[in-house]
Amino acid sequence: MRKQYIQAIVDAACETADTIVGARQWNTDAEARAMHELIFWDMIARKLPNVSVAELLAMLD
């Protein structure tokens, strides 16, 4: 896959997670960070189901 395509997916997942997490009040910063990570990686897994975390990181280096 092209690096630009992968980067666009990563950017969109991060922006979506930022928006969702930012739209609500959290009890702690840790809860907000955990939810951000969950949303981000869920979106990555849905858009890039056959790409491992290691492969993803290698593509973006």
- Position 35 scores a pLDDT of 96
Please tell me the chain's helix, strand, coil percentages from 3-state DSSP, rounded to the nearest 5.
75, 0, 25
- Position 2 scores a pLDDT of 86
Do residues 44 and 15 lie in contact, with contact meaning Cβ atoms separated by under 8 Å? Answer: no
Report whether pLDDT(11) > 70: yes
Which pLDDT tens digit goes with each residue over 24-49?
A: 999 999 999 999 999 999 999 999 99
* Residue 50 lies in domain: 3-60
Region 3-15 average pLDDT: 94
- Residue 3 — very low, low, confident or very high, per pLDDT cuts 50/70/90? confident
- Position 1 scores a pLDDT of 64
Do residues 40 and 14 lie in contact, with contact meaning Cβ atoms separated by under 8 Å? Answer: yes
Do residues 56 and 48 lie in contact, with contact meaning Cβ atoms separated by under 8 Å? Answer: yes
Structural domain count of the chain:
1
